[in-house]
Amino acid sequence: MPIFGTTILSFISGWTAEGGLFAIEKTAEYGFDMLEIILPASLDFDAKKTKKLLDENHISGRCTLNLPKNCHITLYPEQATSLIKLALDKVAEMEGDFLGGVLHSSIGTFTGNPCTKEERIIIQQVFSEVADYANKNNITIAPEPINRYESYVFTTADEVLNMIEGIGKSNIGLHLDTFHMNIEEQNFYDPIIRAGNRLKHVHITESDRGMTGEGNVHWDYFFKALAAINYQGPLVLENFSSEIKALVGPTSLWRPSKYNSEDLAKGSLAFMREMVSKWYTIQI
């Protein structure tokens, strides 16, 4: 069965030592198996202490990284390469085997044009180098395609998979997010089937970032596809409550949320468990 996780954004707006402890404790209390830790761009993160806290609370942890503006790959390939390598060092210190997130571009950075052939060459060169670096510690890296309003580089599963096939490195995978899929993909089934075992990490998010099952994401097609490829990786909740005030601006929560963060997390976890039970049983 897949692993049920949530991100730190269910509890805090960004990683700090104090906030991280709170997020770890709440993740365990609410019944999740795993916490996704979004690394700060500063990489001010005590990986060894965090691993100890995760172990003490009997949950696992995975790291993701979203590139800052000064590391937008096509403009600053050297800086991006350096930051991703430093993030991989943090993953290794935490005894992890995965780094996902928006590793291909800085969210909100645009040129006004589609990604060019020359830009794609630069991106491939960076990912080839960081994949080799990650492989030294048996770490898989998995870029997350996001929607057209946040990036012009990778917006669909196909674009990431094409890069993976072009590079030919076995430790590059795909990180999918249902919020972005709902905008960019033609359906929720085919991208997962095409990805197969290259799908390494999944964000579970409703169309309005609210309670899963109450929006217009086609969850049955989505979970049917996951069961068809026998996906056993993390299903990571990434929805937001305006109760966490620091998230309102960054996540465009201009209307008050229907649910507080606790009810949102617990209700969405129950929905994920229900869908996995339904579709994985059918496949068996």
List of domains in the chain: 3-283 (3.20.20.150)
Contact predicate 224/279, CB 8 Å: yes
The predicted pLDDT at position 252 comes to 80
**Computed from CA positions of residues 18, 32, 189, 124, in that sequence, does the dihedral angle turn out positive or negative?**
positive
Q: Is 28 exposed, middle or buried (0-12, 13-18, 19+ CB in 10 A)?
A: middle
Mean of the per-residue pLDDT values for the chain? 95
| Sheet of 60-64, strands arranged across | 140-143, 98-101, 60-64, 34-38, 3-7, 234-237, 199-204, 174-177
The predicted pLDDT at position 195 comes to 98
The predicted pLDDT at position 257 comes to 78
Helix axes 77-93, 47-56, angle to 10 degrees: 40
The predicted pLDDT at position 255 comes to 79
pLDDT higher than threshold 60 for residue 137: yes
The one catalytic residue in 36, 159, 185, 238 is 238
The predicted pLDDT at position 109 comes to 97
The one catalytic residue in 144, 159, 185, 206 is 144
CA distances from 233 to 2, 5, 98, 156 (A): 5, 10, 11, 20
pLDDT band of residue 8 (cuts 50, 70, 90) is very high
Q: Is 68 exposed, middle or buried (0-12, 13-18, 19+ CB in 10 A)?
A: middle
Closest to 35 (Cα-Cα) out of 13, 49, 50: 50
* pLDDT tens readout for residues 231-264: 999 999 998 766 777 777 777 878 787 888 899 9
The predicted pLDDT at position 242 comes to 66
pLDDT higher than threshold 80 for residue 284: no
Q: Which two tokens stand for residue 74?
A: 């096509």
User: Whole-angstrom Cα distance, residue 49 to residue 79?
Assistant: 27
How many residues does the structure list for the chain? 284
User: Whole-angstrom Cα distance, residue 134 to residue 128?
Assistant: 10
Residue 144 known to be catalytic:
yes
The predicted pLDDT at position 283 comes to 61
User: Whole-angstrom Cα distance, residue 206 to residue 214?
Assistant: 7
Contact predicate 221/186, CB 8 Å: no
Contact predicate 200/142, CB 8 Å: yes
pLDDT higher than threshold 60 for residue 104: yes
User: Whole-angstrom Cα distance, residue 220 to residue 166?
Assistant: 32
Rounded to an integer, the average pLDDT of 1-7 is 96
* pLDDT tens readout for residues 148-199: 999 999 999 999 999 999 999 999 999 999 999 999 999 999 999 999 999 9
